[in-house]
Structure 1
Amino acid sequence: MYASLLLANVGIHGCPREGFGLVVPAGGTTEMGEAVKLENFMEWATALGISDSPFINVDEDGLQGPNHPQPSSCLGKSLSISNFPNAGGRGLCAVRDLQKGQLILRVPKSALMTSQTLILNDHRLSISVPKCSLSSTQILTVALLNEVAKGKRSWWHPYLTQFPSNYDILSSFDQFEIQALQLDDATWAAEKALEKAKMEWKSATTIMEELKFKPHYMSFKAWIWASASISSRTMHIPWDAAGCFCPVGDLFNYAAPGEEQVLIGDFTAADTGARLDGEQSDAQSLRLTDGVFEEESAAYCFYARRNYRKGEQVLLSYGTYTNLELLEHYGFILDENPNDKSYIPLPPDLHSLCSWPGDSLYIQQNGKPSFALLSAMRLWTTPTHLQKSVRHLAYSGSPVSTVNEIIVMEWLVKECRLVLKSLTSIEEDKSLLSVMDKEFESAMEAKSALLGLTDETYAFLKNNGLLNDEIIDLPRKAIRSLDKWKLAIRWRVKYKMMLCDCISYCTRVINDLP
């Protein structure tokens, strides 16, 4: 089973709910217009040799070979585009039974959008970029905005029309939305992401001025959109740290990696995009069952990560992330994320007693303290003169003694309760979400539903100018803020639930001790 997603305005990797904001006029486009753009995109992708046939044979340039005429569509042999309302929105569906490890999509190198391809085909970019001192991601951001500004003149236009108009990554949060996260770690991550985006934008203004960008494309809003596109849509390639945009390949929705994910050292093959060395049989058995650029075929190849039945959504795992990290880089959270974790304040001297890194001392998604946290806590609660004699027990994951285990569990319960006490309750948050999940038709309706509920709802109305009775229609800014606010509340609910589950776990351990 794939994890269901909690989404705001936009789904994952190519799941737009509105028109492409930097191309179409404000107000979006009709469903018919979106259908036409999708049809044009699919024709464009097919002409480039993108195919979901595991038997396709192509020339070196990535186009159909002379003995293999161009198919009517790049999809239909293994996959089709479908809508999954409760699991990511638009995604890819299996049109037949698929076997784990089977090739299900191939995107030729010539169809990948990279900094290199954008620069080589634009004279002004090719002159300006070598003179600037920007990171690879900044260069791709500038190149993307430059391409978008061309509109229909861009060779990539059919693909660019499939980009979402908005993203809900942390760097797009304003101060109200950041504070709605409530937890210090989360607000710090959001503020850091926003500050980083502003610094990168400011340092890139010189080259954008040199390229004579129109004010619309030089704005911070445009920069956030472009950098969010890169953060949430690009895939790893070995020759550019910024990654590449992969048409059709970025239609896959996300699945959190499970225990079946092959690990290579400290990284998964999905993270590095690396192929495994060794004999062919070993490489075949350990081959990445997601997506990877393959030098020998000069294409990005996608493999079924598990067996799929006809009609199921086919998913892609592109890394191990907590919900906060998913929100930071992709703009969504998972309802059930096995890789989620929460942190609580720990004694300052605890770290000096063990070799465990700080980020390994956490509470797991199911509420159980991590192996490292339990080991460190058992050692910390042991009297100093006895720590050496019990260190082997603590490091092996075994309880030191019944009394020690009770002290550890009671300490964790106390700290979890202290954190929860400083925040709004889960019940309050869920009650607020039930009000916010109603589709507000006007500013007056939103004001009527939210005014007087909590200080937070008043702050939202004030932050978006909705206390003014003269405003009739709900402003676009308020709608976007509402989406991100709901994401923040849903994130903090999941975080608080982990702490509550930890309290329950520790209480059970204490009750089960002899």
Structure 2
Amino acid sequence: MEEAEKLENFMEWATALGISDSLSINVDEDERRNPNNHQTLSCLRQSLSISYFPNAGGRGLCAVRGLQKGQLILRVPKSALMTSQTLMLNDHRLSMSVSKFSLSSTQILTVALLNEVSKGKRSWWYPYFTQFPSNYDILASFDQFEIQALQLDDAIWAAERALERTKTEWKSATAVMEELMFKPHYMSFKAWIWASTSISSRTMHIPWDSAGCFCPVGDFFNYAAPEDEQVFSEDLTAADMAAKSLRLTDGVFEGESAAYCFYARTNYKKGDQVLLSYGTYTNLELLEHYGFILNNNPNDKAYIPLPSDLYSLYSWPLDSLYIHQNGKPSFSLLAVMRLWATPKHLQKSVRHLAYCGSIISNENEIIVMEWLSKKCSLAL
């Protein structure tokens, strides 16, 4: 009952800010704030409603009617977005303290978030904060036992790196938190993890702040991975890449309307969960930044230990050498493995074939596939 009341209060607060899933609602601020209009002027219920999906992300947004692909389904005005700028605008002490220290944009938003949360019910954003999780399951929150349980070297390394990076950011921001006279609870590393994770998992891109913005109601959308046909291939033109990059996400800040706008990524029937694509991520990246994984992620990758003498044969980044979710080696991995399996005195003469993605010879291909198969079996 308490959670339901908090949600209802939040929805009334969001409605008053002009957040809406219906373009037909056009009322002034006084009408929005009229409690007698709550049922007809709710920010949702025209296209979306809040529902619970136990096997698909928990709480999310549900279609209350048929929705068409590309249709605008939610608009959040700029005035309803929470950024470090908006938090400092109404807190001179916070603004002055932050200006004295050299912090990254993400650190500034983390400090500003903790500062605002510490105000409790005095904060204008309090109804929104009641909808934040009390904890997250991202890699930076893993203890040593949980990190080792990941088993794979690249996963363990990613978790240790995430933890170390978060600790470094926390320590370097301690001075500004001391100046703001944070209570011990909000100075703790546990509180920093909560705030930085809230930023990592809930913020959305805005062009004027690399830390992003918190988008009330918009952050209720659960994640849908981009489909296979949206993943970039090596033969795309620059124009194709630009067009496809726009389709990798379904929410964007539109300057003309001064609002964050969300569009249906596909056709939805009444009762379907409406999902949002944050971009292309592997399961390990989803766990690091958002705290969950997908049972079937078309963008997942597997990395296997490669021979040390292989690294001198190419200039591709290490993260391009992987096994696709469907079991196929990546273009870069296959190219460099074909070159590696070629006798050294012949490598120069066949390099152009390998880099074009061509098979060098049947014998070469057998060596490559048998080696990769053996390494995959050992990893499994």
User: TM-score of the superposition, structure 2-length normalised?
Assistant: 0.91
Which whole-Å CA distance do the structure 2 matches of 1:105 and 1:268 have between them? 24
- Is 1:226–2:226 an aligned residue pair? no
Other-structure match for 1:373: 333
What amino acid is the match of 2:48?
A: L
- Identify if the C-alpha distance between structure 1 residues 357 and 210 changes in structure 2 by more than 3 Å, giving closer, same or farther: closer
Q: Establish whether residue 406 from structure 1 lines up as the match of residue 369 from structure 2.
A: no
Q: Is the 8 A contact 1:326 1:333 kept in 2?
A: yes
Q: 1:288·1:303 contact (CA, 8 Å) conserved in 2?
A: no
Partners of 2:122 and 2:273 in 1: CA distance: 34
2:22 to 44, 53, 73: 53
Alignment of 1:205-244 (within 5 A): 205-244=174-213
Match for residue 360 of structure 1? Answer: 320
Distance 1:40 1:246 in 2: 17
Deviations 1:149-190 (A, max 9, x none): 111111101000000001011111111111111111111111
Contact 2:147–2:156 (8 Å) recurs in 1:
yes
Residue 124 of structure 2: which of 155, 159, 162 is its match? 155
SS at match of 2:177: helix
- One of 281, 284, 303 as aligned partner of 1:343: 303
Q: What is the Cα deviation at residue 105 of structure 1?
A: 0.1
Once the two structures are overlaid, the 10-residue window that deviates more, 391-400 or 327-336, is 391-400
2:135 touches 2:194 (CA, 8 Å); kept in 1?
yes
Cα shift at 1:399: 1.9
Aligned residue for 1:180?
A: 149
Contact (CA 8 Å) 1:289, 1:302: kept in 2 or not?
Answer: no
Q: Deviations over 1:323-374 (max 9, x none)?
A: 1111111111110011111111112222322343322111111221112211
CA distance 1:98–1:160, shift in 2 (3 Å): same
Contact 2:226 2:279 in 1 (8 A): yes
Aligned-partner SS, 1:334: coil
- Report SS of the residue matched to 2:173: helix
Identity of aligned residues (%): 81
User: Does the C-alpha gap of structure 1 residues 126 and 152 become closer, same or farther in structure 2, counting only changes over 3 Å?
Assistant: same
1:35 CA displacement: 0.2
1:304 equivalent in structure 2: 264
Distance 1:104 1:128 in 2: 40
Aligned to 1:252: 221
Superposed, 1:8-407 pairs within 5 Å as: 32-57=1-26, 71-259=40-228, 261=230, 290-407=250-367
Normalising by structure 1, what TM-score? 0.68
In structure 2, relative to structure 1, the CA distance for the partners of 1:240 and 1:234 (3 Å cut) is same
CA apart distance, 1:257: 1.1
How far 1:34 moved relative to its partner? Answer: 0.2
Residue 493 of structure 1: aligned partner = none
Indicate how the Cα distance of structure 1 residues 288 and 63 shifts in structure 2: closer, same or farther if over 3 A, else same. farther
Which piece of structure 1 moves more, 135-144 or 257-266? Answer: 257-266
Contact kept in structure 1, 2:138 and 2:197, CA below 8 Å? yes
**Do the aligned residues in 2 keep the contact of 1:270 with 1:291 (CA within 8 Å)?**
no
In structure 1, how many angstroms separate the alpha carbons of the residues matched to 2:185 and 2:239?
45
AA aligned to 2:256 is: E
Unaligned runs of 5+ in 1: 1-31, 272-285, 421-495, 497-514
SS where residue 61 of structure 2 aligns? strand
- Letter in structure 1 aligned against 2:211: A
Partner secondary structure for residue 297 of structure 1: coil
Matching residue's letter, 2:279: G
Render the CA deviation track for 1:167-226: whole Å, top value 9, x for unaligned: 011111111111111111111111111111111111111111111111111111101000
CA contact (8 A) 2:248 2:277 kept: no
Determine the C-alpha separation between the residues in 1 that align with 2:111 and 2:243.
29
Is the CA contact (8 Å cut-off) linking 1:46 and 1:72 kept in structure 2? yes
- Deviation track 1:273-294 (CA, whole Å, cap 9, x = no partner) reads xxxxxxxxxxxxx777600000
Superposition deviation, residue 40 in structure 1: 0.3
How far apart, in 2, do the equivalents of 1:347 and 1:218 lie?
45
For residue 377 of structure 2, the aligned residue among 396, 417, 427 is 417
Residues 50 and 107 in structure 1, CA contact (< 8 A), matched pair in contact too: yes
Residues 494-505 of structure 1 mapped to structure 2, 5 A cutoff: 496=380
Q: Distance in 1 between matches of 2:6 and 2:241?
A: 38
1:143 maps to amino acid? A
Q: Secondary structure at the match of 2:309?
A: coil
Amino acid at match of 2:112: A
8 Å CA contact 1:289–1:304 kept in 2: the answer is no
Q: Aligned AA for 1:343?
A: Y
Q: How many residues align?
A: 371
Distance 2:240 2:303 in 1: 22
Which amino acid is the alignment partner of residue 215 of structure 2? C
State the secondary structure of the residue aligned to 1:333: coil
1:28-56 deviation line (CA, Å, top 9, x unaligned) = xxxx0000000000000000000001344
Say if 1:43 and 1:269 are closer, same or farther in 2 by CA, change over 3 A.
Answer: farther
Q: Tell me, yes or no, if the aligned pair for 2:282 and 2:299 is still in contact at 8 Å.
A: yes
- Give the unaligned 5+ runs of structure 2: 233-237
Q: 1:409 to 1:384 in 2, by over 3 A?
A: same
Question: Secondary structure, in 3 states, of the residue corresponding to 1:90?
Answer: strand
